[in-house]
Structure 1
Amino acid sequence: MNDVVADFNTRHYAACDGAITVKAIPIGSGQSMQQIVNGTIQPDIWSPAGSVWLTLLNTQWQQKHGSNLVGTGATDALPLVSSPIVIAMWKPEAEALGWPQKAIGWSDIASLSTDPRGWAAYGHAEFGAFKFGHTHPEYSNSGLDAVIAMNYAAVNKVRGLTTAEVNTTTTKQFINNVESSVIHYGDSTGFFADKMFGGGPSYLSAAVLYENLVVEANDGKLYPHLPYPVVAIYPKEGTFYSDHPFAILQASWVTSAKQTAAQVFRNFLLDQPQQVKALHYGFRPANQQIKLAAPLDSIHGIDITQPKTLLPIPGADVVQAIKTSWSQQRRKVNVMLILDRSGSMAATVDNVSKIEAAKQGLQEFINLLGDNDQLGLTVFSDQADILSPVSQLGPKRKDLLNRANNIFAMGGTRLFDTMSEQFQALQQTPSKNIRAIVILTDGVDTDSHTKLDGLLQQITAKGEDAGTAVKMFTIAYGRDANENDLKKIATSTGAQEFEGNPQNIKEVYNQISLFF
């Protein structure tokens, strides 16, 4: 989009009130939908990754305003480009499952996820455990499409999925089986691609991605040191296209001049030169007259004759039932929250108390996790205090919220020692859950015996099952935090570093919760 938008803006196309300028803002499908519904953004054009989001947006807009925000006519949301939802897998591992002679699907993923022998069941003990990933279905298109496809596969249907079928014990168990091998979730399909292709088979065996990301992985430019080629598995039970619909919103803020300008931009995007350009990025053009050619080929790990079976998007009630069921069947988490309460946290930034805002962020995170998740809370200054050990959240949620509310700032910054201790404790606790630490700090270490190099040596994910190691998500809270050190710490465990401040800290904790 950056490429074609820049091209469009240099051409000075005009509508009824003058030259047209387009500003493209990248936001995830689910996040942008919620922001539109909440009124925090007012785009003129909305292009989520898949058409399922149009139905969900209209449903929520209907409930709030009594009308559709996206037209339902044949030309109201034309696809711009498409890319099938696939299971990206390392070629040797796909071959161990019988690819390409054997069609592979969700039933194979469910079996592999629950087999205690892991890859040894297929004669390859050296691959270790099966490590799987997909994004959070509440916020990401690929994650939502994957979970919908799993539900179709569970009942052996390719259309006509019902809420009753979604809610059966058999279907829920099937979803639970697939989810049992997930190493974490997330809000970005691109983030999963980076983690899989950067971390190798020890980090992820397979992940739900878009076909174009498989093409991108194999072209050697973005990931020049892949250990093996990657192949696209088109689930035998059926899948979806990520079709990037172009929706001109039927909203009060979209004037007739903007509607006309948007139509000019849409026609430009669907014109042949732009559609041919889509091929170069690994997408299938929406214009069916354009022949699929390199890099859409087997050399880049894909099969243009696939997918054989396309699944229809269920109604909004079925999609909601699927999301509710997934929230119950998703892989649970053991997470220790760590908060820096050193003296510097008593300061105010733009009239907002750092410690009070951080406490509100903690409470936001606590409320976002489920009753069956395992959660703990540790605070540190010049010593560490475990306010609550990692244990089931449901029975202690109210108490934990109260404890978080009573934290006050004092003392120094015993950062690395606290990280090391909690990492060891979580690592040594047997569990089938995702294991993670979320730590917020506003300064540099002043009171630890552990040094950064020693900490990194201890926590770096390594071995054939590096993807299942304890993840350490770090929050650099304000300008005085050492962002470089925190980024090294997070990256070494396969997690992510975030920049926070008193104004955005709730949003940061919300983002981190999407990994679980």
Structure 2
Amino acid sequence: MGRHRGKHTEEPAERGRRRGRGGAIAALAAASAIVIVIAAAGVYMFGKGDGCGGSDLTLDIAVSPELGPALGDVADDFNAEEHTVDGDCVRASVREIDSANVAFGITGAGATMGETESDVWIPDSSMWTRIVQGQAGDAVVTETGTSVARTPLVVAERADLSEADDAPTTWMDVVPTDAPGEEDGRTVRVVDPARSSSGLGTLHLLHGALEGTGSDADTFNASMTAALQALHRGASADEEAAFLALSGGESASPVMVMSEQAVWRYNSVHGDAPARAGYPDEGTYYLDYPYIVRSEDSAITRSAEMFRTAVRSESAADRLLAEGFRGPEGERDPSVLTEEAGFLPEPRDELSSPSESSIEDLIRSWNQLKMDSRVLTIVDISGSMLAEVPGTGLSRMQVAGAASAEGLQMFSDSSELGLWEFSTNVNGDLHHQEIAPVRELQATDGSGNEHRDVLASALQNLEPLPQGDTALYETYLAAYQEMSRTYRPDRTNVILMLTDGDDDNPGGMELDELLSQLDSLSSPSRPIPIITIAFGPDVRNLEPLQEIAAATGGAAYMTEDPTEIGDIFLQAFSLRIADTEDDRD
């Protein structure tokens, strides 16, 4: 027993030494394990970089520029948090890009600059998504039902120049709809509606206001044409140019249609010339900043949904209000949209937004009028033009000349106009004579006179031929041949005839021959509409003029009162709007 115990039982000192060696080994093993865990965690954390693991998944978000400051901050907060999809870290990248630029990049319908592709798109208005859906049906444009921000269109004027009693109270007060020369002197600016939601929204509001008058089609088209022409004269290429005009940097400060948020932005950088916002009584159109997803990739769409949640958060809403936007119920930050600057605590009612077909029609009408005209005007100088217009003390020639000179105001400086006079044998054997060639109104002659002034003077100094007859058909043909020979595809080529009688040239061309000649000369790809304004009691039969108009895609008008020519000018040149409506029907 003693030996056995002696063999297997250690002395106290020996046990202590053995236990120390074993404990050190165990401690070393435990420490090694801890180091390994820490090292692994370190590799994991350094690989993660900012707190989440795996590779980065970048969510590319293209936003209307005015959203950039607020949504850039939202993206910073989003990226500071841990958002993952399938183990990848989602990082939101916000880029400011013009809404039209993205829309045209998708549809190919206009010029673009820079990269227009993105995973998420937040344009300033749902009008752009309707344009895209109508023109690029296979494009991925998924509406989420989220409006990131809202701001109504308002009428802005310089605070130091506006007068409360003169402020527009309806949308029809905003833009003149009268004949040229009859406007109230107000200069109205919009940003080009072909590239701007506020500009396009203005056209929509005016169109609705005019429809609400219950006018007949001719009156409506003429008024809409006058409104479009007035807007053309004051259109700015972009918002920067519009802001410059509003500040008085170009000339006298105009009235400007822009969003409420744009007025706030303008005031933030033009404190020396602040603007006040005006609100037409009948309501307005709102820019609604829709949240659009442009990808069908599962990881991207899930990432987009995460960021959509972020932009709907309370902190995001506060940031947007601080940038001059309104909330979904019209709420505002009163320290930003202040009543002192004219901003209303409660905005006006929201009017309906335009349909896809309405948007297309409005842009087409704008672009058609935007295209510079090329017009050959022909004025009757037959003997009957010497007759006096009852109640005026003026001859038909004088009234027609004055009305035509006023009509010049309809055309931009870069439009091309020319002038012929006609009767019988006015130039040897020819029945017409050129008074001024077709050239740009802003061009100057050898004496430095602008072509516009040359035409105005010539129109008011035309002299009738006492014995002259009316070689109408031969003159139509000669004019059509000349305009065909010099056709400009980049312009609207038109022949405008003013006459006070039917064709009266014994032995001259017959109507059937003229129509046959026009048919052989005309081409659908090179349209040259003939517009005739016939006036005075000597016009007995409008039907031949209507047949000529139908053969060329033009129009014929008749009035016994030459003083109505100015109004008829508007109706005549509203044909492009009427054609748009007909195409839609």
Name the count of aligned residue pairs: 325
Q: Give unmatched runs, 5+ long, in structure 1.
A: 120-128, 158-164, 335-369, 377-388, 394-419, 433-516
Contact 2:176–2:230 (CA<8 Å) still a contact in 1?
A: no
Structure 1 equivalent of residue 207 of structure 2: 151
Tell me, yes or no, if structure 1 residue 179 matches structure 2 residue 224: no
Corresponding residue of 1:260: 302
Find the aligned partners of 1:58 and 1:90 in 2 and give their Cα distance: 38
1:322 pairs with 2:322: no
The alignment status of 1:215 with 2:276, answered yes or no, reads no
In structure 1, what is the Cα distance between the partners aligned to 2:158 and 2:321?
23
Contact 1:179 1:331 in 2 (8 A): no
1:298 and 2:339 matched: yes
Query: Cα gap change, 1:260/1:330 in structure 2, threshold over 3 Å: closer, same or farther?
Result: same
Q: How does 1:107-506 map to 2 (within 5 A)?
A: 107-111=172-176, 116=181, 129-156=185-212, 168-182=217-231, 183-197=233-247, 199=249, 202-218=251-267, 221-226=268-273, 229-249=274-294, 251=295, 254-286=296-328, 288=329, 292-308=333-349, 310-330=350-370, 374=415, 391=439, 429-430=452-453
- Which stretch of structure 1 is more off in the superposition, 205-214 or 15-24? 15-24
Question: Aligned with 1:294: secondary structure?
Answer: coil
CA distance 1:234–1:32, shift in 2 (3 Å): same
Structure 1's 372 and 172: CA in aligned 2 closer, same or farther, altered over 3 A? farther
Change (3 A) 1:34 1:167: farther
- 1:19 is displaced (CA, Å) by 2.3
What are the Cα deviations for residues 65-111 of structure 1, in whole angstroms up to 9, with x where unaligned?
3xx63335xxx141111111112123465426544xxx612221334
Q: By how many angstroms is 1:421 displaced?
A: 8.9
CA distance in 2, matches of 1:166, 1:24: 47
Aligned to 2:97: 27
Counterpart secondary structure, 1:23: strand
Deviation at 1:390, TM superposition (A): 8.1
* 1:323-365 deviation line (CA, Å, top 9, x unaligned): 222334459589xxxxxxxxxxxxxxxxxxxxxxxxxxxxxxx
The alpha-carbon distance between structure 1 residues 118 and 177, as it changes in their structure 2 partners (threshold 3 A), is closer
**Is the 8 Å Cα contact of residues 78 and 245 (structure 1) preserved in structure 2?**
yes
What is the CA–CA distance in structure 1 between the aligned matches of 2:339 and 2:438, rounded to whole Å?
47
Q: 1:158-203, CA deviations, whole angstroms, 9 ceiling, x for partnerless residues?
A: xxxxxxx999333332223223434443453344123312527x34
Once residues 236 and 172 of structure 1 are traced to their aligned partners in structure 2, the CA distance between those partners, rounded to angstroms, is 24
> 2:177, 2:223 within 8 Å by CA — same for their partners in 1?
no
Q: Taking structure 1 as reference, are residues 262 and 198 closer, same or farther at Cα in structure 2, changes over 3 Å only?
A: farther
1:70 aligns with 2:141: yes
Where relative contact order (Cα < 8 A, 6+ residues apart) is larger, the structure is 1
- With over 3 angstroms needed to count, the CA separation of the structure-2 counterparts of 1:323 and 1:257, relative to structure 1, is same
Q: Are 2:79 and 1:5 equivalent residues in the alignment?
A: no
CA contact (8 A) 2:151 2:261 kept: yes
Query: How big is each residue's C-alpha offset from its partner over 1:470-508, in whole Å with a ceiling of 9 and x where there is no partner?
Result: xxxxxxxxxxxxxxxxxxxxxxxxxxxxxxxxxxxxxxx
Question: Residue 49 of structure 1: CA displacement?
Answer: 0.8
Q: By how many angstroms is 1:426 displaced?
A: 8.7
SS at match of 2:155: strand
1:104 is paired with a residue of what secondary structure?
Answer: coil
Q: Percent identity?
A: 19
Q: Distance in 2 between matches of 1:187 and 1:304?
A: 31
| SS class of match (1:236) | coil
The whole-number CA distance in structure 1 between the counterparts of 2:81 and 2:229 is 52
The one-letter code of the counterpart of 1:391 is: R
- 1:37 pairs with 107, 132, 136, which one? 107
Evaluate the alpha carbon distance shift between residue 194 and residue 78 of structure 1 in structure 2; reply closer, same or farther with a 3 A threshold: farther
Aligned-residue offset at 1:134: 0.9
- Helix, strand or coil: the match of 1:293? coil
Q: Separation in 1 of the partners of 2:276 and 2:265?
A: 11
Distance 2:122 2:219 in 1: 35
Go from structure 1 to structure 2 and tell me whether the alpha carbon gap of 1:290 and 1:150 turns closer, same or farther (over 3 Å shift): closer
- Contact conserved, 2:326 with 2:332, CA < 8 A, in 1? no
Report the alpha carbon displacement of residue 429 of structure 1 after superposing the two structures with TM: 4.3
Give the distance between the partners of 1:156 and 1:372, measured in 2 at CA: 33
Change (3 A) 1:431 1:215: farther
Alpha carbons 2:187, 2:234 under 8 Å: kept: no
Offset, 1:425: 5.9
CA shift, 1:28, in A, is 2.4
Name whichever of 176-185 and 83-92 sits farther off. Answer: 176-185
Is residue 248–residue 262 contact of structure 1 (8 Å, CA) maintained in 2?
A: yes
Alignment RMSD? 4.1
Q: Which residue of 1 aligns with 2:171?
A: 106
Aligned partner letter, 2:335:
A
Cα deviation for residue 6 of structure 1 reads 4.4
**Distance (Å, rounded) in 2 between the aligned partners of 1:278 and 1:237:** 27
CA–CA distance in structure 1, aligned partners of residues 451 and 165 of structure 2? 32
Change (3 A) 1:375 1:303: same
In the alignment, structure 2 segments of 5+ residues that lack a partner are: 1-66, 110-114, 375-410, 418-436, 456-585
The amino acid of 1:37's aligned partner reads T
2:117 aligned with 1:61 = no
Flag the 1:322–1:421 CA change in 2: closer, same or farther, 3 A: closer
Aligned residue type for 2:125? G
Aligned twin of 2:496: none
Q: Is residue 84 of structure 2 the alignment partner of residue 15 of structure 1?
A: yes
- Secondary structure, counterpart of 1:2 in structure 2: helix
Please give the alpha-carbon distance, in whole angstroms, between the structure 1 residues aligned to 2:171 and 2:331.
32
